[in-house]
Structures are given as C-alpha cells and as structure tokens.
Amino acid sequence: MANCLTLKKSNCKNCYKCIRHCPVKAIRFSGNQAHIIGNECILCGHCFVVCPQNAKEIVDGTEKARVLLQSGDPVVVSLAPSFIANYKGVGIESMRKALKKLGFYDVEETAIGATIVKTEYERMLREEDRDVLISSCCHSINLLIQKQFPSLLQYLADVMSPMQAHCDDIKKRIPNAKTVFIGPCVAKKDEAEYYEGIVDAVLTFEELTNWLKAEDITLETEMDSTPESRARFFPTTGGVLKTMAQNAPGYTYLALDGVENCIAALKNIENGGIHKCFIEMSACVGSCVGGPVMEKYHMTDPVKDYITIAQYAGNRDFGVEQPAHETLKKNFSMIERKLAPPSESEIMSVLRQMGKFRPSDELNCGSCGYNSCREKAIAIIQGKAEISMCLPYLKDKAESFSDTIVNNTPDGLIVLNESLEVQQINNAARKIMNIRTASDVLGEPVIRILDPSVFIQVRNSGRTVRDQRTYLAEYKKYVKQTVVYDPDSRMLIGIMRDITDEEFDREKKARINKQTVEVADTVVEKQMRIVQEIASLLGETAAETKIALTKLKESIGDE
C-alpha cells in the first residue's frame, strides 16, 4: 500500500480521536505518538478529517503533476463528478478553462468512466452466475474486503473503478496521453500507484485549489448542462444504482454508505445471510461527496450536496464506446494482516494489568478509542496500544497515588472552592478538628468548621498567607496555617500544621522561667536585708553579691 497518509509527530497530542474514529483500528500508539498501520489501513481518511491538531497529512501530488506537464506529452485530467459539490456554481467548461491555463491538454469527467463501469455491472448480473455482487468503485471498500474479509473476494466485482476505466479510455483515444485524476479521495492515490500505468498522478480538490491560487487563476462561476450525463450521480449514495437498469431477474439492489454499515453487511454475507443481491458500497457517509478530501472549507451538507449533483446530472448516459469486458478486468488478491489474534489467557492477563478483574470493571467507555476494554487489551498485546491509554485506569491510578500522599501527610489539608465549600479534607485535618468522616463536611460551607476570614482574604487578594499562627478555640488546638489560591482550578488550599504540643511546651517553659525569676527576686530581697544588716562588715562584698544575683535574674528572664 502506498504511503499516502503521513504524520506530523510534533502535532500529535495523545487525544486518541483518530483511533476512536478509525473504523478498522489501524492506528497504533507508541512513544505518545499515533502511527498508521499500513497493512491494516483502508485509507478511508477519517483520521485526517477528525484530527484536531492537523497531525495527519496527505502526500501532495502537485509536484508529480507538474513534472508530467513538463514532459511534453498531452496530460488529460479525469475530474471526479463530486467537483460540482466542492466548487459550487462552477461547471465542467469553467473547470476546463482554468485547468488548461495550468497547462493541461484537456479535462474530462470521470463520470464517463462511471458509465462504462455501470454498463459492465449490468452485463455481469445479466450474463454471469453471480450470487452476490459488490461494487468495486470505492478503493477503501476494496481494501477492507482484501484485508478483513478475504473470503468475500469472490463477490467483489472484478472490474476497474470509474477512475481507471476513464483514464484507460483516455489513453486509448489520445496517443501518448498522461492522466491525472482530481477528486475528494485519498484512497485513489494508493489505487493509482498500486495499479501502475493507468493513472499517472492523483490530486485532491484542496491541492488543485492551492495550485490555482498560486498561479492566480480564478474559477469562473458558470454552469452548463447536458442530458447525456446521468453518471454524474455516481458520487452520491445510491448513485450507482440510479444509473443502472436494475432489471436483472431475481436480484435485490442495495446501496450502503459508511464503513460500519458495510462491515455489518459483509459479516452478514460471510454468515450466509445475503443472496442474489447487488450491493453498492461506499466507505464515506454520503458517498464521494462526503469524501475526506472535500476541501476543509466545504461543510458537508448531504441534502444540499445531493440536490447540487441531481441538478447537474442528466437523464441519459454519456455517449461512450463500451470496451470488451475482458479489458475491464481487475484482479483483487488478499492482503495479509500480520497480527495474529491473542489467546484468552493473554487477554485476561492484560485486563488484570488494566485493573479489570471482573466484568463489572470493564467500563467499555471508549475513551481510549476502542469499543471495549477487551478490544483494547487485544490491541495492547498486538503492540497497537498502551495500558496508559485507559482514562479510568489513569484517573484511578492518579487518585490512588495522590490520595496516598494526601492521607498520609502529617499536615492537615483542606480544599475549598470559591464559594468556600469543602471539596476535600484529609485525615490529619479531620483529626485536628475532631471530624469523624469526610462525608460529614464535604460540600458544606467551611464556616461550619473553621473561621473563614483567612480564606476570604486570600480569595479576594490572591496573595498567599504563610505560616500564620492561629488558635482554634473550639478545638483547643494551635496550628501554623498556610492558605494558597490556585487560579487555574479556582480552588483554595489550606495547610494546617498542629503545633499544640509545641505551644504547650513553650507555655510550660515560660511558666518555669517565671517561677525561677520570682524565686531569684525573693533570694535577692532576703540577701539585701542581710546585706543591709551587715553592710558595715561586708562592704564591697555586698555590692558584688547584688550584682551577681541581678545578672542571674536577668539571665533567667531572657529565657
């Protein structure tokens, strides 16, 4: 398979949106980056459409087309019929004028090839003994069957796509012609490269628009019509059927769009539930007008797009010379997928690593991109996913880790919202305030358990209060309190360190010091009385004693 889709690694943000929208889960995550699995991808382009960071890129074919133009050979454009929905009000003649200014020899509608293909479908149903016949216009559907339903290849119409039939017809009519297909489909780039020699280059509508803009060429708003253009219905759901006679005896005709619907039908065929049926299958919802490379500015509106197509389409077939059916043959072979299904014990082992020990643990929330925890476990075994992609698993792990820290820290923690309601409280804080269980206060105003003034001050000022000594009179506790406001979460975080024992020790020490000072005073007074009585005898000795005792008193007082 050609590498038509690439990834800008710097843009991938681990949102898993691409895997959620990938109908065949052909994306693996490794090193926090999405990687497209080539042998599983069906190039439906959903990942390109839904990526919010534009991390998926379609390989640009403009330079290849420029090289063809410089070759000197006539280069003819096969223009997909969905162009009328992408370029509103611009008919085929206006497109031809603009593209000729770029240097193209001519522009024709791919719908000409669609006429050839639908006529071949009619012949096959009429002349060949086919039980079920599935249209092969959509390369993504062809890849889906080749990769996931190889047993159903016998039912896939072994016929060229309209793009191939038209480009082959161009080359037969115009000597040395080169062909460039322009349309809304990324898968056509792969089809052109895989089946060499028919389509020489493929451009998307967006690539064409950018090229025209770079050359300062403006598309003229001018419509044209021709009754011989019924195959212009092809890019709509049921458009193939609308062009067909639908008169093969005993056959039911059915149109399906969207990969999920097509997979459901293929499973039904596989189980033997469908017989004598022609099924038109399109990977895109709405068929080609809902293609992944309809330009980004083109907001898909199925009703308006269908009406636009219907108003432009005629009521008769293009006048084409039908080739011999042998020349329209196209061989499809199985494309092997390398990943073998894991054993039940392997799946259960990974589920346990994900914290899924019972069926009730399997939330099947789809946040990882997979429809069930079991599918996710299989993807992990196959190297397509990582355990960390599970949002509930990560949430539980993070909460368990943070709860372990919060509930085992010796400091009391209390978290309030801006309305000063308790959002979280840890064990240490409950112990300080004699709160039996957290549920007693969660969601309640903090004023029920604490003076809210410091929280109001921090909320209003945005300035942190650090290590404020506070006496909680109702709890007879001293705490050193810090209050922080987090503007991102709009939460107030209170941190309380219980310093009650320290305060009691300090008070006890102060009382002892006071008592010591009082004793010293008494001793000084007694000594002074004695000194006064024997002053005449002791003289200088008395003065020295007074000085020494006074210093002792001051020393004790300083403590």
Q: Note whether 18 and 33 are within 8 A (CB).
A: no
**pTM for this entry:** 0.72
The C-alpha atoms of residue 456 and residue 492 are separated, in whole angstroms, by 9
Least reliable range by pLDDT among 2-6, 81-85, 310-314, 490-494: 2-6
Determine the Cα–Cα distance for residues 237 and 252; give it in Å rounded to an integer.
Answer: 16
Q: What angle do CA 404, 405, 411 make, to 5 degrees?
A: 125
For residue 72 the two structure tokens come to: 């000197």
pLDDT tens per residue across span 99-136: 999 999 999 999 999 999 999 999 999 999 899 999 99
DSSP for residue 506: H
Q: What is the pLDDT of residue 379?
A: 83
What pLDDT does 349 receive? 87
Between CA 334 and CA 342, with CA 340 as vertex, the angle to 5 degrees is 150
Q: How would you classify the pairing of strands 132-134 and 178-183?
A: unpaired
* Residue ranges per structural domain of the chain: 1-59, 60-328, 339-389, 409-498, 502-558
Opening angle at CA 441, ends 439 and 446, nearest 5: 160
Quick check: 25 and 260 in contact, CB under 8 A? Answer: no
Mean pLDDT to the nearest integer, 57-63? 91
- Check residue 555 and give its pLDDT: 65
Is the backbone of residue 34 left (phi > 0), alpha (psi -120 to 50) or beta?
Answer: beta
**Confidence (pLDDT) at 537:** 58
For the cut 60, the answer to whether the pLDDT of residue 540 exceeds it is no
Instruction: Give residue 37's pLDDT.
Output: 87
Supply 370's token pair: 């997979």
Over the stretch 364-413, which tens digit does the pLDDT of each residue have?
777 777 888 888 888 888 877 777 777 676 666 666 666 677 778 889 99
Beta bridge partner(s), residue 57: 6
Residue 524 pLDDT more than 80? Answer: no
pLDDT of residue 428: 92
DSSP string computed for 387-446: GGG-HHHHHHHHHHHHHHHHHHSSSEEEEEETT-BEEEE-HHHHHHTT-S-GGGTTTSBG
Other residues' Cβ atoms within 10 Å of the Cβ of residue 532: 10
CATH number of 409-498: 3.30.450.20
Query: What does the pLDDT read at residue 49?
Result: 87
> Strands of 132-134's sheet, edge to edge?
132-134, 277-282, 252-257
Fold type of domain 1-59: Alpha-Beta Plaits (3.30.70)
Q: Is it the case that residue 348 has pLDDT exceeding 70?
A: yes
Q: What is the mean pLDDT of residues 49-57?
A: 84
CA dist., res. 222 & res. 481, Å (int): 76
Q: Which residue has the tokens 């500015």?
A: 297
Q: Read off the pLDDT band of 531 (50, 70, 90).
A: low
Distance separating alpha carbons of residues 263 and 145, to the nearest angstrom: 9
DSSP assignment of 27-80, as one string? EEEETTEEEE-TTT-----HHHHH-TT--EEEPP-HHHHHHHHTTSS-EEEEE-
For residue 528, the Cα-to-chain-centroid distance in whole angstroms is 91
**Residue 539 banded pLDDT, cuts 50, 70, 90:** low
Kindly report which listed range (6-15, 29-38, 52-61, 293-302) carries the lowest average pLDDT score.
Answer: 293-302
Distance of CA 523 to the CA centre of its chain: 85
- Span 160-171, mean pLDDT? 98
Query: What's the confidence (pLDDT) of residue 342?
Result: 83
The span from the CA of 463 to the CA of 219, in Å, is 61
Q: Where do we find the tokens 């604490």?
A: 450
